[in-house]
Amino acid sequence: MRPVCPALFLAAAALAQNSPYPVDVPAARIVKALDEPQNWLTYFGDYKGVRHRALNQVNTVNVRNLRVDWIFQIPTTGRFETVPLVVDGVMFFTAQNGHAFSVDARSGRQLWHYQYKPAEGTADGLNRGLAILNDKLYMGTVDGHLVCLDSRNGQLLWNTEVASAKAGYSITLAPLAVKDRIIVGVGGGEFGIRGFIDAYDAKSGQRAWRLYTIPEKGEPGGDSWQADSWKRGGAPTWMTGTYDPDLDTVYWGVGNPGPDLYGGDRLGDNLYSCSVVAIDPNTGKMKWHYQFSPHDTHDWDANETPMLLDLPWKGQMRKLLVQANRNAFFYVLDRTTGEFLMAKSYARQTWLKEFDAKGRPTPLPNTEPSEQGTRLCPGLAGGANWMAPSYNPDLQLFYVPYREQCDIYFSSPPKFVEGKAYWGTATRGVSDEKEWGVVKALDPLTGEGKWEFKFYHAGWGGTMSTTGGLVFAGDADGYLVALDAKSGQLLWRLQTGAEIATAPITYMVNGKQYVTIASGAALITLSLP
């Protein structure tokens, strides 16, 4: 859609003060982000989504001395799920309800603050972060817009409507900058939207392409939807994707079909819901897809991190895509072709009978949601979800945070009303056991578990690993923990005072390593004395 000229914001921007610390992040720097362990240049820290840093000032010996260095309090309520960016000593981050900030990464001193005002009648909402390209920042909004900010002062440069909030669309993810474009996905699967992935020109905000994640009738895959159910079939794209510059391919997870919990009006596989899609970033054309859960009725979307690893598979180096899926299985695909290579459960599951040679699952009988209720594992929230995994290349271990929770799934046919919730009833937790959370270390070539660390409650916190031999993770009870990357032994923990629902980052300024995590309404940064 056409960018909106922000006249009022331009007037206000004339008074803005430029940051004394200008930054510049051309696309070539993002391609080599892992060569800058002192910075955190994308939502995942790099294009592959490994969330690992070659920093070891904080390590297994001294992590017990880690203490709070500074705290930044945000002026809003709600769940704080941001993952900050750090560029040459400057930190950029978002907060719920349209806030964006820049602070000095050494002290937390605010450099500028921006607040987006969503369309009237739009509910408040969370935000997971920013993208940066050159000297500009990009942020999605709860009412379905993509905005561009000047990284020096927070001035609004352009504002483009991606999709209508009245139709149920929103953007909560951190955008992905690829070459000269900004790629975004949308939320709203619970409201009967038709999902898509968009790319926008980074300078002008003009849309370059759109890839719908539900094909129309007559398009490849269009016959996988019953009648006109594709028009409101969900398949949202609400989490950030990854990118392989060598293959020039973007990988993006796609959400579940709608309505949730009831599939009687949308018989078929419902492509490309619950899939990962490989996309040409120049044209938006799909190269291949793999569907994890055909015709899903359990809300087991595939928006979890599509991590990219280059590893020897059965004696031959291959470009792999690995994902701990919400359906409780860890998958390995060839990311050049989309070939299914392996799947193994990492959490309790009671739904699968077997996979065929191409990775198509055969469910066990009596696992569909029902009027009487069907007990099944994992629960609606899945095993994995948006909680970020990480990967230590030295140990060749994949760290996945997940939830151990089973649910009773109920089902009945819903009525579709545009912009309103579109669910086939609901779930409730099983009453004869308590849920819990886990961080598990996996061998990504076999799916075999090497160790696991349990949290008291099932939570939403992600992980981050370092060459200091550490895995950092957060939990629902507010603990930020540091685990031994080899053994999973608890080495240190801090009670932050509120739920942690995002993943930590680490960076270095002037020779000092920092660790940052969002918790409650505070951004907390730690370092050694």
The answer, yes or no, to whether residue 301 has pLDDT greater than 50, is: yes
The answer, yes or no, to whether residue 3 has pLDDT greater than 80, is: no
pLDDT bucket at 16, cuts 50 / 70 / 90: low
Burial of residue 43 (CB within 10 Å: 0-12, 13-18, 19+) is buried
How do residues 179-230 score in pLDDT, each as one tens digit?
A: 999 999 999 998 999 999 999 999 999 999 999 999 999 999 999 999 999 9
pTM across the whole model: 0.95
DSSP 8-state code for residue 11: H
Per-domain boundaries in the chain: 27-112+125-527
Percent of residues, the chain, with pLDDT higher than 70: 97
Q: Cα 55–463–100 angle (5° rounding)? A: 90
CA distances 305 to 83, 251, 416, 462, Å, are 14, 9, 30, 11
At the topology level, CATH places domain 27-112+125-527 in Methanol Dehydrogenase; Chain A (2.140.10)
Q: Is 299 annotated as catalytic?
A: yes
Cα separation, 212 vs 192, in Å, equals 14
Listed in sequence order, the residues at least 6 apart from 491 whose beta carbon sits closer than 8 Å to its beta carbon are 60, 63, 64, 470, 482, 483, 484
Q: Cα 262–266–270 angle (5° rounding)? A: 105
Mean model confidence pLDDT for the chain = 94
Asked if omega into 294 is within 30° of 0 (cis), the reply is no
Listed in sequence order, the residues at least 6 apart from 314 whose beta carbon sits closer than 8 Å to its beta carbon are none
Long-range CB pairs of 357-366, under 8 A, 24+ apart, other chains included: 359/290, 359/331, 360/291, 360/294, 361/292, 361/293, 361/294
How do residues 317-335 score in pLDDT, each as one tens digit?
A: 999 999 999 999 999 999 9
Annotated catalytic residue within 299, 301, 407, 475: 299
Q: What SS3 string covers 260-285?
A: ECCCCCCCCCCCCCCEEEEECCCCCC
* Among 34, 91, 53, CA closest to 467: 53
For residue 130, what pLDDT is reported? Answer: 98
* Among 145, 234, 154, 147, CA closest to 196: 234
Q: Which tokens is 118 given? A: 């969503």
For residue 429, what pLDDT is reported? Answer: 76
